[in-house]
Amino acid sequence: MAGRDTGEPGQRFASSYLAGQYAAMGIAPKGSDADPGNYGLAPYKQTFELARTQTTSMSYTASRNGETVLSGGAPAADGALVELIPVYGTPPADTEPARVVWVGDGSAMDGVDVAGAYVIASGADQRAMQGLAGQLIQQGARGVILPVAETAEGVQRYARRLTRASLSLQTGEEESGGGAFILTGMDVAARLLGVDATAEAMAAVPVGDTGAMLQMSAEREESAVETENVVAFIEGSDPALKHEVVVISAHLDHVGDHGEGEDTIYNGADDDGSGTVSILEIAEAFQLAKENGHGPRRSVVFLHVTGEEKGLFGSQYYADVDPRFPIENTVANLNIDMIGRYDPERGFETTDYVYIIGGDLISQDIHDWNATVNDISGTDLLLSDRFNSPDDPNQFFRRSDHWNFGKHDVPFIFYFTGTHEDYHGVGDHADKIDYDRMARIARLVFGTAWHTANTDARPQVSGEGFN
């Protein structure tokens, strides 16, 4: 499926495949394409448009105390380096220079105003810095500048990404896609800070405004890209409760086929093929129960979202624009993203584990139900809370599709087993998946969804995760 890049033929084929699986199981569609005249697989699809932006040129200039310290752009003049390289999000198009703010590794940034500013962040853990960058974008930063090499020369391999298209969702309120992640060298960051290009000198800079001003601009071409979620559901059996829904979600997209060498396809077997096929198995179990006269009391939605890799767009469209059931009637979201591999930095020996994110930070009820299911169902997994914090630098609390439900005060659990050496790489192949452990996690999700769909009272919001 050519890496299932959002809006591309491989992703759209994957959507049709999933719709076909639900049709074969006899599970009803709940997409928005069930208009009169549509037939076949269309009623399972929730089709929408993303805005596609292609950057054709980019320029930047920065000053300190009236003196220009950076100036350049792309395409670069012969022999020149591109010193600031936006690689994620929409490249900025400033009309006026913006403040440059320094937050270091983020550990002492409380009270620092980053809204509308370019923010320089630097720390030893690059994964943590990516998570911090996402947090800063959510706080309104125009862009986050990440020094990922000693010099600008060390980031030139990323310059080709400047011409890749970016996607955004137009919701009618404000554009989603946010600010850009901007890669640079430590030497460039030091010029913006006005210090020597050493880790020690940069670490000594107090957090806050640096006194530098940066302006970036880009020429762009825009077009529309059509993509779709897949939505199926089993109607609840209790007349008093069937208007309420439990949503089980995973993302069907991945990052495409732009690799180098003989293997160019990013298969995404773990990310998120593991969650996608787990939902199919969970759906089959619910349907079998229904066919035997034991259907769930509440309705259960099986939601496969697109655009997660581009900015959680599919789940945002579902939750913000076109929820197929009213969002206030959504009692819980159980989100499955990457449950097929092992985190090499997990900090404990067993591989029989799953990270639980959300849970008691959101709802003690759903946390307890999940733990009880694990105890009595035989799944017997270590339920790790390693990343279960809104302040964790990796920001997994907000980095998958559960968050678009969470921001509406919907209790959620994010099931996750961590990143690994093949994360967003061409090596994320199906033969590296631990299918037995993945099946146990799927049984845990099924059991928690089953209890949530059948209990008298919906789970209550009780934690501090939304505060």
Domain containing 370 — which CATH number? 3.40.630.10
What pLDDT, on a 0 to 100 scale, did the predictor assign at position 126? 72
Phi/psi region, residue 40 (left: phi>0; alpha: psi -120 to 50; beta: rest), is: left
Q: Give the other-Cβ count within 10 Å of 47's Cβ.
A: 16
Instruction: Kindly state whether residue 462 falls inside one of the protein's structural domains.
Output: no
| CA distances from residue 39 to 10, 29, 228, 230 in whole angstroms, order as listed | 21, 11, 16, 15
Range of the domain at 83: 51-223
Mean pLDDT of 36-42: 70
Instruction: Kindly state whether residue 228 falls inside one of the protein's structural domains.
Output: no
Instruction: Kindly state whether residue 36 falls inside one of the protein's structural domains.
Output: no
Question: Are residues 262 and 390 both part of a single domain?
Answer: yes
> Where among 223, 244, 276 does a domain terminate?
223
Question: Are residues 117 and 14 both part of a single domain?
Answer: no
Are the beta carbons of 408 and 317 closer than 8 angstroms? no
Instruction: Kindly state whether residue 62 falls inside one of the protein's structural domains.
Output: yes
Task: Grade residue 172 by pLDDT with cuts at 50, 70 and 90.
Answer: low
Dist. CA 444–CA 370, nearest whole Å: 7
Tell whether the model's pLDDT for residue 44 goes beyond 80.
yes
Question: Are residues 435 and 390 both part of a single domain?
Answer: yes
Amino acid at 198: T
Question: Are residues 287 and 176 both part of a single domain?
Answer: no
User: How much of the chain exceeds pLDDT 70, in percent?
Assistant: 95
Task: Grade residue 176 by pLDDT with cuts at 50, 70 and 90.
Answer: very low
Amino acid at 63: S
Instruction: Kindly state whether residue 35 falls inside one of the protein's structural domains.
Output: no
Q: How many residues does the chain have?
A: 467
CATH number for the domain harbouring residue 167: 3.50.30
Mean pLDDT of 237-255: 98
Mean pLDDT of 154-162: 86
Task: Grade residue 34 by pLDDT with cuts at 50, 70 and 90.
Answer: low
What pLDDT, on a 0 to 100 scale, did the predictor assign at position 261? 75
DSSP helix/strand/coil, 49:
strand
Of residues 175 and 228, the one with the higher pLDDT is 228
> Where among 168, 200, 223 does a domain terminate?
223
Instruction: Kindly state whether residue 229 falls inside one of the protein's structural domains.
Output: no
Dist. CA 365–CA 368, nearest whole Å: 5
Question: Are residues 339 and 398 both part of a single domain?
Answer: yes
Question: Are residues 217 and 249 both part of a single domain?
Answer: no
Instruction: Kindly state whether residue 459 falls inside one of the protein's structural domains.
Output: no
Instruction: Kindly state whether residue 279 falls inside one of the protein's structural domains.
Output: yes
Question: Are residues 330 and 198 both part of a single domain?
Answer: no
Please name the residue ranges forming H helices in 166-242: 186-193, 199-203
Question: Are residues 63 and 129 both part of a single domain?
Answer: yes
Question: Are residues 166 and 291 both part of a single domain?
Answer: no
Dist. CA 467–CA 457, nearest whole Å: 23
Q: Identify which of 45, 429, 151 has the alpha carbon closest to the alpha carbon of residue 270.
A: 429
> Where among 202, 223, 244 does a domain terminate?
223
Domain count, the chain: 2
Question: Are residues 243 and 332 both part of a single domain?
Answer: yes
Dist. CA 310–CA 177, nearest whole Å: 8
Tell whether the model's pLDDT for residue 148 goes beyond 50.
yes
What pLDDT, on a 0 to 100 scale, did the predictor assign at position 350? 97
Mean pLDDT of 380-394: 92
Question: Are residues 299 and 212 both part of a single domain?
Answer: no
pLDDT digits (tens, 9 = 90+) for 401-454: 999 999 999 999 999 999 999 999 999 999 999 999 999 999 999 999 999 999
What pTM was computed for the model?
A: 0.82
Provide the token pair at 310: 């581009």
What pLDDT, on a 0 to 100 scale, did the predictor assign at position 178? 60
Tell whether the model's pLDDT for residue 248 goes beyond 70.
yes
Task: Grade residue 224 by pLDDT with cuts at 50, 70 and 90.
Answer: very high
pLDDT digits (tens, 9 = 90+) for 62-112: 999 999 999 999 988 777 899 999 887 766 777 799 999 999 999 899 999
Question: Are residues 334 and 215 both part of a single domain?
Answer: no
